[in-house]
Amino acid sequence: MEDALTHVDDSYIVLETITSRQIFLNVKRPGKIAEEFSVKKQSKPNKLKPSVKLYNNYSDFTRETFIDRMLENLQERGLVAKVAKDLNINYRTTLRWRKYYEGTEGVEHKKSEQNSGPKSSFTAEHSEYIKELLDNDPHLYSDDIINSLTERFEDFTISKSQLNNHLRNTVLITVKKPIFEPEVRNSVGNLQTRFEWFIEWKYSDLDFTKKIDEAASKSGSTAIVKQPKTRAQSHIIIEAIHSSSVVHVVIRKPPPRKET
């Protein structure tokens, strides 16, 4: 390769090799080459943080409610799983609570109140008022309940997250996020129109599984559509040379003098 770069048929063009790849490799220390190779092989440090397992924090009221439901019918088969599902409690946690009650005849309350967050500002009167609101309108939003509480009780402030936590763990009320959809989607007129359209085309020869011009792409593959390109090519890669492996420098010397 180096001979091809320096080979010139014209005798008036004289090239002198300053350095080449072979000279570069001979001068370079062998240990340094091995060191660079080992550095490239090293993998990047793992920056993934270890996963932190989160535990559910059930209130004492939830624990007492579970035991009360268990005592209502101890002989019912599958009662633990049923009550755990109704109260939204982990099944293994309820098994531990039942085992504790069978051994001590008491409810397994929280072992410590330290680092359990600020003390709840809800009282029994607040909980009763919330139950009355939900009995009258089960589709209330959290903002509506907060506004009703602040209007009913003077100097009472609560955030939405605190309210949702109180409803879920203390009052045992499920909080759901609504999904909004347009009314016209399932309106009577729209359903009737869709039904008539289906009846109209049901017995025709319209069959998208058979009478189609082009099939869709295979499941799991990318749908690629090839089309002609009219735009001119903006750039061309002539050559790519890595400086660490290819070194060849020549200098052009003055042409020799012609003999007279």
pLDDT at 210: 67
pLDDT of amino acid 208: 65
Question: Bridge partners of 19?
Answer: 249
Contact 6, 17 (CB under 8 A): yes
Task: Measure the CA–CA gap between 224 and 222, rounded to whole angstroms.
Answer: 6
Q: Choose from 49-53, 104-108, 185-189, 240-244 the range with maximum mean pLDDT.
A: 185-189
CA distance 150 to 156: 5
The pLDDT tens digits of the residues spanning 16-52 come to 776 777 777 777 666 555 565 565 555 555 555 555 4
Domain ranges of the chain: 2-41, 60-104, 124-169
Instruction: Specify the pTM.
Output: 0.33
Q: How confident is the model at residue 220 (pLDDT cuts 50, 70, 90)?
A: low
Is the pLDDT at 115 greater than 50? The verdict is: no
**Model pLDDT for residues 143-194, shown as the tens digit of each residue:** 888 888 888 888 888 888 788 888 877 777 777 777 778 888 888 888 899 8
Average pLDDT over residues 104-115: 66
At 106, list the tokens.
């008491």
Segment 195-210, tens digit of pLDDT:
998 888 887 777 766 6
User: Given pLDDT bands bounded at 50, 70 and 90, which one contains residue 140?
Assistant: confident
Per-residue pLDDT at 222:
72
- Residue range 60-91, pLDDT digits in tens: 778 888 888 887 777 777 888 888 888 888 88
Tell me what pLDDT residue 42 has: 57
How far, CA to CA in Å, does 115 sit from each of 57, 93, 110, 112, 119? Answer: 12, 21, 12, 8, 10
Rg of the chain over all Cα atoms, to the nearest angstrom = 40
Higher pLDDT: 240 or 258? It is 258
